[in-house]
């Protein structure tokens, strides 16, 4: 044995290292229980999603949501929640061997987060579009409860993040809608008061009817004037027919002037001025109505958007309650270390042979 150590010290060191590491993995390393769950994020399909070229290039929103969920589950904020509800520091500092445990129960949050990433694994399956969550604990109960906590906290966070902006928009639109409703009621009341004060339901219709009457009177006047012109060719101005025709012309002209004075007189509250004021009030009421309708539609669309942004963590595989420990992978770790050590020992042996050959 002494001769072997002196002649092949590198192989002796390699075998000693393999024995020590194998002793650690097969005898000393403490068992860890692995709990896992597979989840997917779903949202209600309120409307058929639009497919655009940009969405094809950037990927579906579901993948982005899964990535956001993954980052949150591995974040310091998530670690703080686990610490508050399950006392992460105590569990991992009081259990485990000297190499695997949390050495300092009062470690700063940066070091604690590094240890957290060693015990929590969240991987995204791009092909299936699911998220695989794994937690290693020193008791099956702790690992199982921690996975459940991660799923519940992740779903709550995604809903809060997606709804926060939508709820703020809804609140703002509701305030604007109330203000627009008040303006609409005020415009309608002002229009109704104007109609009651003037005694006209629609001054614009009244103006149109007067214009039609004036046009009819002017047509009749032209016809009577033509008849009078025809009579004047063979009768005197003092004849009864001529006097009757002249009386009709004068009466029609007087009637036309009365209607025109009613429509737009020089002084007083003329009908065209009333019509102009009515049209202004009606335009304000119509504008208030259209604005209110647009705001109401925007509010409903925002509410639908808020509902669509609700995220539900659908569990494809419920959190597994482990019945036996699966970590660490003792045979795999020991085998890998042994292979690497033997390979390094072979390299060292070759270098030694080369050096000896050059000396000879």
122, 68 contact by CB (below 8 A): no
Cross-strand bridge partners of residue 94: none
Q: 120: which 2 tokens?
A: 């929590």
148, 44 contact by CB (below 8 A): no
Which H helix or E strand runs over 286? Answer: helix 271-308
Say if residue 260's pLDDT is above 80.
no
90, 142 contact by CB (below 8 A): no
Cross-strand bridge partners of residue 246: none
pLDDT given at position 114: 95
- CATH code of 172-305, in short, is 1.10.287
Q: Measuring CA to CA, which residue among 201, 70, 83, 85 is closest to residue 124?
A: 70
CA distances from 207 to 31, 46, 259 (A): 96, 50, 10
pLDDT given at position 49: 44
Say if residue 78's pLDDT is above 80.
yes
Cross-strand bridge partners of residue 35: 135
Say if residue 54's pLDDT is above 60.
no
Distance CA 150, CA 136 (A): 13
How many other C-beta atoms are found inside a 10 Å radius of the C-beta of residue 312?
14
pLDDT given at position 148: 95
Say if residue 56's pLDDT is above 70.
no
Say if residue 266's pLDDT is above 90.
no
Distance CA 323, CA 134 (A): 15
311, 42 contact by CB (below 8 A): yes
Q: 161: which 2 tokens?
A: 């993040």
> Would you call 122 helix, strand, or coil by DSSP?
strand
User: What pLDDT, in 10s, does the model give residues 178-227?
Assistant: 888 888 888 888 877 876 776 555 556 666 777 788 888 888 888 878 87
Q: Which of 35-39, 87-91, 105-109, 206-210 has the lowest mean pLDDT?
A: 206-210
pLDDT given at position 107: 92
CB under 8 Å to 4, separation ≥6 — which residues?
11, 12
pLDDT given at position 59: 43
Mean pLDDT of the chain: 81
CB under 8 Å to 196, separation ≥6 — which residues?
none
User: What pLDDT, in 10s, does the model give residues 149-171?
Assistant: 999 998 888 878 767 766 777 77
Distance CA 340, CA 352 (A): 18
Distance CA 27, CA 263 (A): 111
pLDDT given at position 198: 63
User: What pLDDT, in 10s, does the model give residues 315-353?
Assistant: 888 899 999 999 889 999 999 999 999 999 899 888 888
pLDDT given at position 43: 64
Could you state, in order of their start, the residue ranges of all structural domains in the chain? Answer: 1-29+328-360, 172-305
First vs last C-alpha separation in the chain: 27
Q: 48: which 2 tokens?
A: 């058929």
Distance CA 359, CA 356 (A): 5
User: What pLDDT, in 10s, does the model give residues 14-48?
Assistant: 999 999 999 999 999 999 999 999 998 776 555 44
- Can you tell me which residue has the tokens 């000297």? 98
DSSP 131-151: EEEEEEESSHHHHHHHHHHHH
Q: Which residue has the higher pLDDT, 194 or 52?
A: 194
Distance CA 104, CA 97 (A): 13
Say if residue 267's pLDDT is above 50.
no
């Amino acid at each position: 044995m002494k001769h072997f150590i002196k002649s092949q010290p590198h192989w002796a060191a390699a075998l000693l290292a393999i024995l020590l590491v194998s002793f650690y993995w097969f005898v000393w390393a403490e068992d860890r229980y692995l709990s896992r769950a597979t989840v997917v994020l779903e949202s209600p399909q309120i409307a058929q999603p639009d497919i655009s070229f940009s969405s094809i290039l950037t990927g579906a929103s579901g993948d982005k949501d899964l990535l956001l969920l993954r980052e949150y589950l591995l974040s310091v904020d998530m670690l703080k929640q686990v610490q508050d509800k399950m006392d992460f520091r105590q569990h991992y500092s009081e259990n485990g061997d000297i190499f695997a445990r949390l050495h300092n129960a009062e470690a700063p949050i940066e070091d604690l987060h590094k240890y957290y990433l060693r015990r929590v694994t969240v991987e995204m399956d791009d092909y299936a579009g699911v998220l695989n969550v794994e937690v290693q604990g020193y008791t099956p109960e702790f690992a199982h409860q921690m996975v459940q906590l991660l799923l519940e906290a992740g779903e709550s966070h995604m809903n809060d993040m997606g709804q926060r902006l939508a709820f703020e928009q809804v609140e703002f639109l509701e305030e604007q809608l109330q203000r627009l409703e008040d303006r609409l009621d005020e415009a309608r009341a002002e229009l109704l008061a104007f109609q009651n004060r003037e005694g006209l339901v629609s001054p614009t219709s009244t103006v149109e009817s007067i214009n039609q009457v004036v046009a009819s009177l002017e047509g009749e006047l032209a016809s009577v004037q033509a008849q009078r012109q025809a009579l004047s060719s063979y009768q005197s101005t003092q004849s009864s027919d001529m006097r009757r025709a002249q009386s009709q012309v004068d009466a029609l002209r007087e009637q036309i002037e009365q209607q025109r004075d009613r429509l737009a007189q020089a002084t007083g509250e003329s009908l065209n001025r009333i019509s102009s004021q009515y049209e202004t009030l009606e335009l304000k009421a119509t504008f208030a109505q259209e604005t209110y309708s647009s705001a109401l539609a925007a509010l409903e669309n925002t509410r639908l958007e808020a509902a669509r942004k609700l995220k539900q963590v659908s569990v494809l595989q419920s959190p597994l309650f482990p019945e036996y420990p699966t970590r660490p992978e003792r045979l795999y770790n020991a085998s890998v270390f042994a292979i690497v050590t033997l390979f390094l020992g072979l390299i060292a042996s070759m270098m030694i042979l080369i050096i000896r050959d050059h000396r000879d």
